[in-house]
Amino acid sequence: MDDSDDGARVGLWVVLGIITLLLFGLIGGLAIRQVHKASAPASAAPAAVADADAVVDVPLTGELLGKIYFDLGSAALPPDAAATLSTVLTAVTHAGPGAKLVLAGFHDASGDAAKNAELAKQRAKAVRAALQAVGLDAARVMLRKPESTTGDGAATEARRVEIRLVP
């Protein structure tokens, strides 16, 4: 370029200035994004804790892996639950990482329906806690809305938690 190309020289400096501003904007935006990413998990953790008691209202489908029967008025796991839980853990492990468990607590229609439903939910939560204690990821276990039994079946059927495998 010679002295007569002042317009070209000004244009070149303008283009270089714009490119510099774009680069600084891009670098600044990436830095802000990293700061927000670093602080996001801390704010998301309380939401996950709040969903721990959430129940889903899904149809009772899937392969029945086992039933655990509870004592009257109790949500404590019975001593014979360990064998069922071991079978369930083996089945869900072999089913692959996408498979999930649905835990469905049952109660009878006699007495206070709200108390019975809460007891059925507590029983399902006890089963979930036992599965987590032996290493099953909490994200693979869903609690189903408690259900009242119908008919004239055995009384123990009203005090059960069914464990089903869903793909």
* 122 SS3 class: helix
User: Residue type for 47, please?
Assistant: A
Tell the burial category of 146 from Cβ atoms under 10 Å away from its Cβ (0-12, 13-18, 19+): buried
* pTM summary value: 0.67
CA distance 165 to 106: 17
Phi and psi at residue 37, in whole multiples of 5°?
-65, -40
pLDDT tens per residue across span 39-73: 654 433 333 433 567 777 777 788 999 999 999 88
CA distance 42 to 46: 8
Tokens encoding 152: 């004239």
CB-based contact 106:157 (threshold 8 Å)? yes
pLDDT tens per residue across span 97-128: 889 999 999 988 888 889 999 999 999 999 99
